[in-house]
């Protein structure tokens, strides 16, 4: 897609979330941490899939999948049993973003995607409509936003969500790697846009998005979906880590 930037290849990333830490939280807070955990898993999958191959010249490095790195980041033995939960959180985050895009179907039908090239505009429009209609066929599996923010503290929780995402964006300003900063802030902005859509009510016809929000939304969908697409590749590389790959099989075919 025209809006895609060059992805992250290698960087140091923050430590993942432990699923045991969120069990005592309310539903909304658990959702928040699962979203961030899913984004973190997506980044780790891409880092493992585009890992710098050792022994190559620094002037022209080559990148490829690194099974050992993937296992280190997700195997139950190396993650205190948390790896499979992190992979499931990726699917959770993906379905949340996909649900936000399908909710805006009427908006996309009347939206003009401007790239500077009329042919690309038409292609992107057709692709977006295809994504929405394909996702609607499995709507029962998508994220259900009506389960969140239903109590007396719903307004305060929504404000807390917004504040947390703003804080994360500010923290990313301290990242030294410009590429890491770009991709991190872009994905956080995309998730924030998805949440803005999901909790905006039912009047999607009067809802508007800024260009940068549209860009971020579809970029984060692209990153999450490509991460999921990469999982079978690791499964096919080697099946010697039984627990991890049994989990992958269950997640992929769920």
- Give the H or E element holding residue 64: strand 63-64
Question: Is 99 within 8 Å of 142 (Cβ atoms)?
Answer: yes
Lowest mean pLDDT among 20-29, 42-51, 151-160, 172-181: 20-29
- pLDDT confidence band for 219 (50 / 70 / 90): very high
Summarised one tens digit per residue, pLDDT across range 163-191 is 888 888 888 888 888 888 888 889 999 99
Amino acid 254: pLDDT: 61
Q: Which of 222, 231, 226 is nearest to 254 (CA)?
A: 231
Distance of CA 159 to the CA centre of its chain: 22
Question: Is 129 within 8 Å of 108 (Cβ atoms)?
Answer: yes
- pLDDT confidence band for 4 (50 / 70 / 90): very low
What is the C-alpha separation between 98 and 115, in angstroms, rounded? Answer: 22
Summarised one tens digit per residue, pLDDT across range 62-108 is 888 888 899 999 988 888 888 989 999 999 999 999 999 999 999 99
DSSP state letters, 220-237: HHHHHHHHHHHHHHHHHH
Distance of CA 44 to the CA centre of its chain: 11
Question: Is 1 within 8 Å of 37 (Cβ atoms)?
Answer: no
DSSP state letters, 26-41: -HHHHHHHHHHHHHHH
What is the C-alpha separation between 170 and 189, in angstroms, rounded? Answer: 12
- Give the H or E element holding residue 109: helix 105-109
Q: Kindly state the tokens that stand for 129.
A: 């409509």
Question: Is 38 within 8 Å of 90 (Cβ atoms)?
Answer: yes
- Whole-number Cα distances in Å, 223 to 8, 53, 77, 116: 10, 22, 27, 24
* Residue 10, pLDDT above cutoff 60: no
Q: Is 121 exposed, middle or buried (0-12, 13-18, 19+ CB in 10 A)?
A: middle
Question: Is 14 within 8 Å of 41 (Cβ atoms)?
Answer: no
């Amino acid at each position: 897609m025209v809006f895609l930037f060059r992805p992250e290849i290698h960087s140091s990333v923050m430590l993942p979330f432990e699923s045991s830490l969120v069990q005592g939280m309310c539903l909304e807070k658990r959702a928040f941490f699962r979203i961030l955990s899913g984004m973190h898993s997506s980044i780790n999958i891409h880092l493992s899939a585009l890992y710098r191959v050792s022994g190559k010249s620094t002037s022209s490095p080559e990148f490829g999948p690194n099974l050992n790195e993937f296992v280190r980041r997700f195997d139950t033995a190396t993650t205190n049993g948390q790896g499979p939960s992190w992979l499931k959180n990726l699917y959770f985050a993906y379905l949340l973003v996909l649900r936000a895009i399908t909710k805006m179907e009427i908006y996309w039908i009347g939206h003009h995607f401007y790239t500077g090239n009329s042919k690309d505009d038409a292609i992107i429009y057709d692709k977006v409509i295809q994504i929405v209609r394909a996702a609607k066929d499995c709507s029962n599996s998508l994220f259900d936003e009506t389960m969140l923010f239903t109590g007396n503290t719903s307004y305060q929780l929504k404000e807390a969500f917004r504040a947390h995402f703003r804080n994360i964006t500010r923290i990313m300003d301290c990242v030294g790697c410009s590429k890491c900063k770009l991709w991190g802030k872009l994905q956080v902005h995309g998730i924030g846009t998805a949440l803005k859509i999901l909790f905006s009510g039912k009047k999607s016809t009067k809802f508007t998005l800024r260009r940068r929000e549209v860009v971020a939304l579809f970029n984060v969908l692209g990153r999450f979906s490509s991460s999921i697409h990469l999982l079978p590749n690791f499964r096919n590389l080697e099946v010697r880590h039984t627990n991890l790959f049994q989990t992958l099989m269950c997640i992929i075919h769920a």
